[in-house]
A and B are shown apart, each in its own frame.
Chain A
Amino acid sequence: GQQVMQIPQYQHVQEGEDFTTYCNSSTTLSNIQWYKQRPGGHPVFLIQLVKSGEVKKQKRLTFQFGEAKKNSSLHITATQTTDVGTYFCAVAKSGSSNTGKLIFGQGTTLQVKP
Chain B
Amino acid sequence: NAGVTQTPKFRILKIGQSMTLQCTQDMNHNYMYWYRQDPGMGLKLIYYSVGAGITDKGEVPNGYNVSRSTTEDFPLRLELAAPSQTSVYFCASSYLGRQNSPLHFGNGTRLTVT
Chain A interface (Cβ within 8 Å of chain B)? 6, 30-31, 33, 35, 41-45, 48, 50, 88, 90, 92, 97-107, 109
Contacts and interface: CB of A to CB of B under 8 A. Distances in A.
21 contacts: A30-B100, A33-B102, A33-B103, A35-B103, A42-B107, A43-B90, A43-B103, A44-B105, A45-B102, A48-B99, A48-B101, A50-B99, A97-B100, A98-B96, A100-B48, A101-B45, A101-B56, A101-B58, A104-B42, A104-B45, A106-B42
B90 A42 contact: yes
B41 interface: yes
A48 B100 contact: yes
A100 B108 contact: no
Contacts of A102: 33, 45, 100, 103
Contacts of B96: 98, 100
B69 to A, nearest CB: 19
Contacts of B45: 101-104
Interface residues of B, number: 28
B103 A105 contact: no
B43 interface: yes
A92 B42 contact: no
Nearest to B106: A42
Contacts of A92: 100
Contacts of B90: 42-43
Contact of A101 (B48, B102, B104, B106): B48
A97 B98 contact: yes
B74 interface: no
B41 to A, nearest CB: 7
A48 B59 contact: no
A88 B42 contact: yes
Closest 7 CB pairs of A and B: A45-B102, A42-B105, A106-B42, A104-B43, A100-B31, A104-B42, A107-B42
